[in-house]
Chains A and B, each alone.
Chain A
Amino acid sequence: MTTVPIGAFFALSLVLFIIGAMGVLLRRNAIIIFMSVELMLNAANLALVAFARQWGDLDGQVFVFFVMTVAAAEVAIGLALIVAIFRNKRSINIDDLHQMEG
């Protein structure tokens, strides 16, 4: 059993998640927003693994495995979308992408 209290891992996970959320809200480069989403997913993974350790239950780690797989699929699709948008708009600044509002 690790000597670091589980709360420390949870606090770190919280901080990383909030940094990721701030990145999504503050940045306008679509790729960096996407990287921030990855950071948030990773923070959630850290919390899951920490709790799996706390309860001695491997299901948490299995869940992290699924999150990682879904994240890989999501990254592939997301980057393809960004490439397609860049072809059309010649920009990946999300402030330029507001044709929906008319």
Chain B
Amino acid sequence: MELALFFLLALTAIVSAAGMIYQKNAVHSALFLILNFGCVALLFLMLDAPFISMVQIAVYAGAIMVLFLFVIMLLGAEQTTDTDARQFGWVTQAATVLGAAFLFAMAIPLVLSGGLNLPEAPGESPRLRLVHLANVTEPVDIAIGDTVFENVVINETTDFTEFEAGEYDVVVTNDAGDVLFETPLSLEPDQILTVVAYGEETLESVVAIANNIDSTADNTARLNVTNLSTENPLYLVDLGRDRQLQVSSDGVIEDAVLTDAIPFGETVTIDMSDGRYNLRFAEETGSGEYELTLIGAQRGIDIEEATEQTLIFTPDYQSVNDPQFGFRSAVETSVLPVSEPFGSPGDIGGLLFIDYLLPVNLVGFLLLVALVGVIILTRPEVTTSRRSTLNRRRKVSRPLVSVITEQTGRDVVVDTPKLEDPSGSGD
């Protein structure tokens, strides 16, 4: 869909650019260029640059192109004289050859190398936190590489800690120094992990769960649900306000089931609206689609918007003899970053007026200089001052009658009273 839109816009942009070049009428050229700028503005929108897109439409397609059209109309230059034989004919051929050569010089490496081999954006350092959910009463030390989390007790959650990407060994020791568990762990850039130590009798295993704490769309809440207890597929169900599972004849009502089936050791991420939920786990025991058995305790959770909660379903050790499993969501809530789209006007404004304040001022000064320059360039006296003063002086020196004759195109009847000839009167 997005690809189709891109190709439509790209095709329109290229056709309108070519039309701009080939139009004989300069006004049509300008209109094609406006169309091209509009297409590029939409492409900017696709590239998450709404501010630049609006500036493109307002400044380019609006102000600059109106200026172009104004000058075209002012000079009466609609019909170009490009059809005449060119004085420098070789320029046309040279331009065509150069253009084709440039296109191929850029396109061939692109095609040969199979597209742009751009390096990816450098990832952030991986972060992880530890959760101790194993049935070990005394505190343990958990070492990840050289970093040691000391005296971690059951149900404790550590803060997120940054690590360098690489290979680590996770070693869990008790107070006596006995190694309880050891496992390798590889950290990659951008990873956010919750490392869970769990076990029904003793510390049986340590697993790393990937946490998704990117911002959600529309700032909804997010749950990361992990099954570390049952081999059967696990579901998270919302019991609703009456805390009763609405069971219809063929099983559980679908709305109550929040997650897909969670296999053992897997994590399922769901985005949900905020509110109060009465959550409970259900295990798929039968063969039918919704043959669910509720397990563990019910737990009411207030879920706020733009937060993440990690629910880990582990055996309940306080009632180990009881076949019922407990519901542990010992992991603290972490606040998600409020989702703000990339390239929002606020971000750009911050950059412009904090990091780029001096360039912004320089550009403003440049615009002022340009304004003064335009006024000086288009001052009428610049080109005609000498001639006009000469004309004015000559006109003044000529007799009034000749000026009127010149301007009206016909002789002025001047009634000058004729004096009587003094010589004739004497006869």
Contact = CB atoms under 8 A, between A and B. Distances in A.
Given A28-B81, A95-B88, A38 B64 contact: yes
Contacts of B115: 5, 7
B29 interface: yes
Given A73-B366, A83-B74, A84-B377, A16 B13 contact: yes
Chain B's interface: helix, strand, loop or mixed, by majority?
helix
Contacts of A16: 13-14, 17, 36, 40
B343 A26 contact: no
Contact of B103 (A18, A25, A34, A95): A18
B99 A22 contact: yes
Contacts of A22: 21, 95-96, 99
B26 A29 contact: yes
A19 B21 contact: yes
Contacts of B20: 19, 23, 32, 35-36, 39
15 contacts: A2-B46, A4-B6, A7-B110, A11-B110, A29-B82, A35-B29, A36-B21, A39-B17, A61-B51, A74-B370, A76-B370, A79-B71, A80-B378, A81-B377, A95-B86
A36 B17 CA distance: 9
B55 A65 contact: yes
Contact of A9 (B47, B99, B382): B47
Interface in B359-386: 359, 363, 366-367, 369-371, 373-374, 377-378, 382-384
Interface in A47-101: 49-50, 52-59, 61-62, 64-66, 68-77, 79-84, 86-88, 91-93, 95
A62 B352 contact: yes
Contacts of B46: 2, 4
Contact of B60 (A9, A38, A52, A61): A38
B72 interface: yes
Given A25-B92, A29-B81, A58-B343, 15 more contacts: A9-B47, A16-B13, A16-B36, A19-B18, A25-B91, A25-B95, A25-B98, A35-B29, A35-B68, A46-B44, A53-B47, A58-B347, A61-B348, A82-B75, A87-B383
